[in-house]
Amino acid sequence: MLEIKNLSVTVDGKQILNGLDLVLPTGEVHAIMGPNGSGKSTLSYVLAGREGYEVTGGQVLFEGKDLFAMEPEERAAKGLFLAFQYPVEIPGVANTTFLREAANAQRRARGETELEPLAFVKLLRQKAKTLQMPEEMLKRAINVGFSGGEKKRNEMLQMALLEPRLAILDETDSGLDIDALKTVADAVNAMRSKERSFLLITHYQRLLGYIVPDRVHILAKGKIQRSGGKELALELEQKGYAGLVEAA
Amino acid sequence: MRTAQQPVLASLLNLYEGQRERLPGARLPWLQERRRAALKAAERLGLPTPTTEDWRHTPLVTVLGKHEFALAQPVGLDRAPSLLTGAARLVFLDGQGDATLSRPALPEGVTALSLRQALQDDERALADRLSVAPEGTALEALNLGLFQDGALIEVDEGIAAPPVELVFANGLAEGAATSHPRGDVHLAPNASLTLVEVHQGLGREPRLLNHVQRLRLERGARLTHLVVLAEGTDTTHLAETTLSLAQDSLYQGLVLFLGGGLVRRSVTLTLAERGASCTLASGYLLTGEERGDLKTDIRHAAPDTLSRTTVKGALNGRSRQVVRGCITVEAGAARADGRLASKTLLLSDRAEIDAKPELRIFHDDVQCAHGATSGKLDPAQLFYLRSRGVPEPVARRLLIEAFLAELTEGLEDELRQPLQRLIDRKLAEVAP
């Protein structure tokens, strides 16, 4: 699904990722854990295609294709989804309008027929219900006046609606109370399948108690320092980043 | 004499003698006299130049100097570029009232007449209205001297009038032409009206349109006033609008600058009595070489008066927007509350905005604020939309639409929807 080879990225001339390697096979859930400033968010943004990140070396293949040759919207249409750590507020654009544009733009790009307005609304309501999002949130402007938890739920709603092949969750667990955390975990677990992969980027082990990963990678100083099974997260919990990264 | 330095003005003044017999009221000595006096005043005052403070960014004489204008002549048209379906309307083709396209039928207590018609019906009733204010400008004086037609709208006391539309279709006949339409709107106490004005350029012929409009709202009257300015690229559209608001009256204005070589609107609004309030919203969607200038002069002359001025612009190409907004609070206007906010999106590096908000406050116990900002579309918002698969041009349009949405928010659907269609059409040009 995703193959990152020797990836180096600078931001404003500063080296953030420094020869990062990672292979995420189809159908697996991998977690990337790392201390603050290790390059976690840079990795998620560069994969989604945000401006201001300069790739100075390496390559990323998404389903065998060169990811960096694609515009952000092409990546989305090919099935890449990033749940933002800080979802953006957009006053004046209703959530529903946005989601319909997004869903239909992706369908068009894939040569599929667009959803009829009524069919779309029905689908959206059903997805919102499983995420326990009140319908009124769908009519409001994107993320405007949403609490931290509501914003993250809204990210999960978008994921559920767009049904990506690869979902990257950038610290989706941060700032969530236990109920919201469970909702997020349920959304991910419900979508786990043989065709879909997840990359969970997180600072804490807490989320991994609800979403059990196939592999855990520890990112520090711009590269993967250690990889292992789900037990690596527990080891990290005990020893802390300092202990593990030094050991590596 | 200014005419030596301003050959444009000299040739405009000369238009009078050649057309005198064909102008409305040619048989009325008092009107002839006023026209001549007005033209003399225009000659004395001279057209505004870049040294005139309010015209610093607007090179009027240079723009007009490119053409030799004749007075507009009557033309025909099959269909009026109307915004409302079924509403009463007056249609002006190159400034001349067109009886076949107009639908003046209105219930009792509401009058909408062409000025030419009104002069035939009852000239004396118009004596007060056909004059130049003492502080009038050369353009106002020129308008009185050369006016060929205009609109006269009256709503009687307590009447809630159905919407009235004024349609100005311009650029129809060949050659450079000028017209000087007048508008007079009077709402008696507790009357209400929605007035829609559409100024639509339909050809590429050079035009100089010099509008003068006076609106009077008496006690408790309410006027919703929508103005769409979509002139041709070789059109100079100038409008001087004067409003006076009596006690507890309410004016809600929305002006959309959707095109034109040079479109300039000057609004002088006096909140003359206690409790009068106004909202002035202006939107700009310009591209290419288009330019839109707005000058607002809001005077709080009584206690408990309120004004809200909102300007929003989205500029592409080499388009240019000028905003000069002034709020004056006169002595004695206790608890006056005046605000002005101007925000502009610059979609190209070559588009320009000149904003100059100004407050003049001569009373202590008031609340006033102004602010002007300009910038580009927010890259974080753009990226968020694109990361969900929304193509960049669509994402840009969504954000611009959202930015402008505030302007039409409070309107009823029957007004908002046709306006939205015009905005969308222009948006496709401004943000392709």
pLDDT in tens, B127-158: 888 888 777 899 999 999 999 999 999 999 99
Q: From chain B, pick out residues whose CB is under 8 angstroms from the CB of A166.
A: none
pLDDT in tens, B255-285: 999 999 999 999 999 999 999 999 999 999 9
Which pLDDT score is estimated for B122? 84
Instruction: Give the helix/strand (H/E) hosting B235.
Output: strand B235-245
Mean pLDDT calculated for residue range B289-293 = 95
pLDDT in tens, A104-152: 999 998 899 998 889 999 999 999 998 888 888 898 999 999 988 889 9
Which pLDDT score is estimated for B133? 78
**Is any Cβ of chain B less than 8 angstroms from the Cβ of A72?**
yes
Is the confidence at residue B1, as pLDDT, over 60?
Answer: no
Band the pLDDT of A233: cuts 50, 70, 90: confident
Provide the whole-model pTM.
0.89
Closest C-alpha to B297, from B344, B222, B358, B372: B358
Instruction: Give the helix/strand (H/E) hosting A158.
Output: helix A148-162
Q: Phi first, then psi: what are they for B10, rounded to 5°?
A: -60, -45
Q: Could you count the other beta carbons within 10 Å of the beta carbon of residue A12? A: 8
CB burial string B300-321: b at 16+ within 10 A, e below = bbbbbbbbbbbbbbbbbbbbbb
Average pLDDT score, chain B: 93
Residue contact A72–B387, C-beta within 8 A: yes
pLDDT in tens, B44-61: 999 998 888 888 888 898
Helices (H), B279-391: 379-386
Q: Phi first, then psi: what are they for B393, rounded to 5°?
A: -60, -35
Q: From chain A, pick out residues whose CB is under 8 angstroms from the CB of B395.
A: 73
Alpha carbon distances (Å) from A156 to A83, A186, B371, B383: 7, 10, 38, 18
Instruction: Give the helix/strand (H/E) hosting B243.
Output: strand B235-245
Q: HSE-up of A226 (CA within 13 Å, CB side)? A: 18
Q: From chain B, pick out residues whose CB is under 8 angstroms from the CB of A102.
A: 385, 388-390
Band the pLDDT of A248: cuts 50, 70, 90: very low
Task: For residue B388, give the nearest of A50, A141, A162 by CB distance.
Answer: A162
CB contact at 8 A, A218 and A232: yes
Percentage of residues of chain B with pLDDT beyond 70: 99
Q: Phi first, then psi: what are they for A38, rounded to 5°?
A: -85, -15
d(CA B250, CA B101): 31
Q: From chain B, pick out residues whose CB is under 8 angstroms from the CB of A91.
A: 402
B393 Cα to chain A: minimum distance (Å) = 11
Mean pLDDT calculated for residue range A223-231 = 91
Most confident of A19-28, A141-150, B66-75: A19-28
B409 Cα to chain A: minimum distance (Å) = 10
Is the confidence at residue B114, as pLDDT, over 60?
Answer: yes
Residue contact B385–A90, C-beta within 8 A: yes
Residue contact B379–A51, C-beta within 8 A: yes
> In chain B, which residue's Cα lies nearest the Cα of A155?
B388
Is the confidence at residue B344, as pLDDT, over 90?
Answer: yes
pLDDT in tens, A70-106: 999 999 999 999 999 999 999 989 999 999 999 999 9
d(CA A56, CA A41): 17
Per mean pLDDT, which range of B114-128, B203-217, B301-315 is the poorest?
A: B114-128
Q: Does the interface ipTM go beyond 0.90?
A: yes
Is the confidence at residue A209, as pLDDT, over 90?
Answer: no
CB contact at 8 A, B161 and B192: yes
pLDDT in tens, B358-411: 999 998 888 999 999 999 999 999 999 999 999 999 999 999 999 998 899 889
DSSP state of A69: G
CB contact at 8 A, B147 and B106: no
**β A54-62/A2-11 pair status:** antiparallel
Q: Could you count the other beta carbons within 10 Å of the beta carbon of residue A13? A: 6
pLDDT in tens, A57-67: 999 999 999 99
d(CA A70, CA A47): 10
CB contact at 8 A, A196 and A164: yes
Would you call A248 exposed, middle or buried from its count of C-beta atoms within 10 A (0-12, 13-18, 19+)? exposed
Which pLDDT score is estimated for A246? 59
Closest C-alpha to A230, from A244, A217, A246: A217
Q: HSE-up of B246 (CA within 13 Å, CB side)? A: 13
pLDDT in tens, B178-232: 999 999 999 999 999 999 999 999 988 999 999 999 999 999 999 999 999 999 9
